[in-house]
Structure 1
């Protein structure tokens, strides 16, 4: 397992404490937390030892601190806490060597070597557009896939398309009423037809029944219905691809619900044999004990058509057969929590030993952009608007001299998309949030453009200083701001690992903000004091040391942005 500088110092402190108090290191490790900045870097509370040792916590802390001698750490007591501060010179040298030695990709490890994770994300419906509400599953899933890859996992990302359902019936009968034969192969035309057909089905029962009848013909294998379904599927896939390319997203597999339509009977038979099934109001359900008010798991409706649960059960078995996964993640909205709890519960009841490896990676809702005048908001429309708004900001900033670019259109695309992506990923995934254009595009807030600007600033400092130095004396970096910035850099791999362990990209996003804030605080010191400028005018050794620190910042920001799926412009 890869251990980084912060890990090594943490483990050394925990091991020394464990030896001193005669307890297992695992028990001590769980109690060591980050210290208050004025007291150090790591803290161990002695309250739990008071009863055992029959002493007051401050006395215990003072006694322990006097006993401990750990290379690389300065240990001292502060009240009831034993605190450890990283030895400044060795720590700075270690951070710079580690980050600059790794380059972009710093924080990667081999902890997942030999393990496979399946990630089901994005999953739009065929014959319907990729709407704005697909944003969260797409971005969160993509970031999680990047994070797992960086930790050495074999990632099997699946775009599990909703390519089997009544929506095909709506488009099929809608084409007869609203279709233009000359535009039949255009995704935009299919979307227009679907919107009109869906609206009509809500008020015209006969039209809705016709759509359902078409879907039943598909399930029964009608050649004409299947041919039209295949055509619509291919048109949709072509329509989706530009959006994914724009976001830099690539899936290892593009599957669909249709993949399992010929496995429904086998799945139902297995459930009947292992768990039990029964009829309820003409439908077939899984015979399980249900909580009061809990809807049953439906396998087949009264008209013979299957449901999501049936297909998800078949898909789970198929993924196990194909990948023998260590984890199987479903990046799907929190609204579907009951559905996945029931699906996983059925798998467990069926005796599948891998059922506990299936995880619903849920997320909250976005408010503020659901509809416009009753019309569905498409993801590409939002990305286009982001680019347009970013272009205005880029031109304003260029005119004021704040940023410099020879490619405003390209930079606007990077900044606009970065604003939308980071605006989502900085939020804890189960948190609901309100989308606000002014907020996400702000260059001075906790935003994507702020991070991109910080990265470009680091690149510019290196360019002005003649490039990243091959060697530097880390002992010259003694300013408190330099030490604090180094602490942020050293904690980056810790946050990356935590993001994987909890499937929470926001840990990385928020830590990048902390890095950028400390970086800004440091490099702006030179505005008031020429001797604190990064590109020092007279001291070549000090200039090299500070440029090495700026280089480490560049590496961490570039790595983090890459993990989140955001471009890192080198100039702006």
Structure 2
């Protein structure tokens, strides 16, 4: 497994501390934390040692600091802390070389997950319905988590687990028989119209609703005519979905749905019947487990014999483990489904499946405040269209003002619109709710996707004006505080990517990119104020090369991080 620059220095500091204290480095490393920027880069608190040594923590810190000598680190005691600061040489060149050598793969580690497989279940729309804006979180989060695991060397099996089985397809079918145009069965929009109309009618006409239920029962019984019509609806939907996913730059290893497990549920129920057991409750079949007060039971079959989500998810979990022998199986699904997944995983564990603990519900919160100019029924494609339209207006405005150059304003508007929507979601911690605000999301300023895309395009332009990134440079010339601050932000990406994988938290990457862009902006501002501090400084080729190498490492970090988030990286804005 390759080690990042930060990890190497942290490990060296921990080893030095351990040697001075006469303990194992493994016992110390977890206690080495990032220091406050004013005092260094790494910090070790001596409070836990006070009782055993019968000394005040500041005394222990002073004595430890005097004992320590670690190459590349300047070590000092500050009160009860032993702090270490990275010496500019060779630290600076190590960080810049690591980023520039890795290029598009910077932040990743091809060895970290070698030989391991992660299954990621995400997006998962229902067929015969459009992909709604409410699918944005599962789709972008799942895509980003998949990118992060790929970057860390895992084999990723991304599954778009379609809702393609259930009474709603009975509604589409009976609706189509009454309202549909057979010539438009390949038209996704027409199927949606039919479904909306049939659904409204079913709400007020019990007989029509029963007709839909009967159609679904025919599907479950294997009726050839019913399944042929259902399959046509399914193929139409998948074609429509693929167009939207292509627009978002998303591909799945597998597109499959609940229907895959039709005919396989009885075998799973038989397994559960052996352990932990099943029983009848109000005519339905449930898993025989002790339940908490007011906890609904785990339903396997309804009283009419039809199966439920839990049954299909249990069958799917077993199938996925058989197919992929996964190290992790992630379900990127809304927090609302927390009880469902707790119960599914609990059932798997009670069945004696040793891999049950490898199944993880990656839950996320809700989005509030979304509406589009087209009305309240919010389709994801409409949101992407509106984002592009708003971005196009800003592109035109900036072009006319001479602030932006592009040969393809339409393509740029599409890239900015997608970046705005994706980053507007991914910058939030996944477990939290947030309120969508159009003006904030598409702004070129603040914590937004367009701001980061602009930061990337701006540094590309600086490199272009400087004649490109230099092959050689002298890192010891990068002594400005703003330069060293930027180096430290660049350094963080590999650690943050690893943390994001462990926590299933893309917002960590998003927030780091904002920090990189902010440090880069402060560096630009310095150069605007004093000519001798510009990146493309005049009259000093060696200094200009060093600063261009730093700019290039910043470009690599922004490009790599944005790509992990699934956000385009335009080079002109």
- Same-fold call, TM > 0.5? yes
- Cα displacement string for residues 146-196 of structure 1 (whole angstroms, at most 9, x for unaligned residues): 000000001011111111011111111111232122222100101111111
Q: 1:49-60 counterparts in 2 under 5 A? A: 49-60=49-60
Quote the residue 1:298 is aligned against: 299
Quote the residue 2:537 is aligned against: 536
SS of equivalent to 1:112: coil
SS of equivalent to 1:103: helix
Quote the residue 1:15 is aligned against: 15
Quote the residue 2:480 is aligned against: 479
Does residue 323 in structure 1 map to residue 344 in structure 2? no
Q: 1:234-313 counterparts in 2 under 5 A? A: 234-313=235-314
- Cα displacement string for residues 196-229 of structure 1 (whole angstroms, at most 9, x for unaligned residues): 1112222222221111111111001111111101
Quote the residue 1:545 is aligned against: 546
Does residue 91 in structure 1 map to residue 104 in structure 2? no
The alpha-carbon deviation at position 375 of structure 1 amounts to 4.5
329 and 534 in structure 1: CA distance in 2 versus 1, 3 angstrom threshold: same
Distance in 2 between the 1:11 and 1:106 partners? 21
Task: Answer with 363-372 or 298-307: which moved more.
Answer: 363-372
- Cα displacement string for residues 500-544 of structure 1 (whole angstroms, at most 9, x for unaligned residues): 111111111100000000001002211110001110111111110
Distance in 1 between the 2:357 and 2:515 partners? 35
The alpha-carbon deviation at position 404 of structure 1 amounts to 1.7
Q: Is the 8 A contact 1:455 1:568 kept in 2?
A: yes
Q: 1:57-72 counterparts in 2 under 5 A? A: 57-72=57-72
Q: Is the 8 A contact 2:121 2:332 kept in 1?
A: yes
The alpha-carbon deviation at position 106 of structure 1 amounts to 0.7
- Cα displacement string for residues 312-343 of structure 1 (whole angstroms, at most 9, x for unaligned residues): 00000000110000000000001000000000
Distance in 2 between the 1:477 and 1:373 partners? 52
481 and 149 in structure 1: CA distance in 2 versus 1, 3 angstrom threshold: same
Quote the residue 2:38 is aligned against: 38
Distance in 1 between the 2:86 and 2:294 partners? 56
Q: Is the 8 A contact 2:372 2:382 kept in 1?
A: no
Quote the residue 1:200 is aligned against: 201
The alpha-carbon deviation at position 371 of structure 1 amounts to 8.4
The alpha-carbon deviation at position 21 of structure 1 amounts to 1.6
Distance in 2 between the 1:506 and 1:320 partners? 29
Give unpaired runs (5+ residues) of structure 1. Answer: none
The alpha-carbon deviation at position 91 of structure 1 amounts to 1.0
Distance in 2 between the 1:203 and 1:383 partners? 34
Q: Is the 8 A contact 2:286 2:301 kept in 1?
A: yes
Does residue 407 in structure 1 map to residue 408 in structure 2? yes
Q: Is the 8 A contact 1:133 1:370 kept in 2?
A: no
Distance in 1 between the 2:262 and 2:23 partners? 57
**What is the aligned residue count?**
572
SS of equivalent to 1:296: coil
SS of equivalent to 1:74: strand
Distance in 1 between the 2:357 and 2:466 partners? 54
170 and 313 in structure 1: CA distance in 2 versus 1, 3 angstrom threshold: same
TM-score, normalisation: structure 1: 0.99
Q: Is the 8 A contact 1:327 1:357 kept in 2?
A: yes
Task: Answer with 180-189 or 360-369: which moved more.
Answer: 180-189
Distance in 2 between the 1:465 and 1:298 partners? 66
SS of equivalent to 1:299: strand
- Cα displacement string for residues 395-416 of structure 1 (whole angstroms, at most 9, x for unaligned residues): 1122222222121111000000
Distance in 2 between the 1:286 and 1:556 partners? 50
Distance in 2 between the 1:178 and 1:356 partners? 47
Q: Is the 8 A contact 1:397 1:403 kept in 2?
A: yes
SS of equivalent to 1:269: helix
Give unpaired runs (5+ residues) of structure 2. Answer: none
Q: 1:71-86 counterparts in 2 under 5 A? A: 71-86=71-86
Q: Is the 8 A contact 1:440 1:448 kept in 2?
A: yes
Quote the residue 2:509 is aligned against: 508
Task: Answer with 194-203 or 224-233: which moved more.
Answer: 194-203
Distance in 1 between the 2:46 and 2:418 partners? 48
Quote the residue 2:395 is aligned against: 394
Q: RMSD value over aligned CA atoms?
A: 1.1
The alpha-carbon deviation at position 491 of structure 1 amounts to 0.8
353 and 370 in structure 1: CA distance in 2 versus 1, 3 angstrom threshold: farther
Q: Is the 8 A contact 2:35 2:83 kept in 1?
A: yes
SS of equivalent to 1:104: helix
The alpha-carbon deviation at position 370 of structure 1 amounts to 6.4
The alpha-carbon deviation at position 25 of structure 1 amounts to 2.1
Distance in 2 between the 1:23 and 1:483 partners? 33
Quote the residue 2:156 is aligned against: 155
Task: Answer with 231-240 or 24-33: which moved more.
Answer: 24-33
Q: 1:82-121 counterparts in 2 under 5 A? A: 82-109=82-109, 110-121=111-122
SS of equivalent to 1:39: coil
Q: Is the 8 A contact 2:185 2:232 kept in 1?
A: no
370 and 258 in structure 1: CA distance in 2 versus 1, 3 angstrom threshold: farther
The alpha-carbon deviation at position 372 of structure 1 amounts to 8.2
Q: Is the 8 A contact 2:140 2:422 kept in 1?
A: yes
Runs of 4+ more than 4 Å apart: 370-375
Distance in 2 between the 1:436 and 1:203 partners? 36
373 and 397 in structure 1: CA distance in 2 versus 1, 3 angstrom threshold: closer
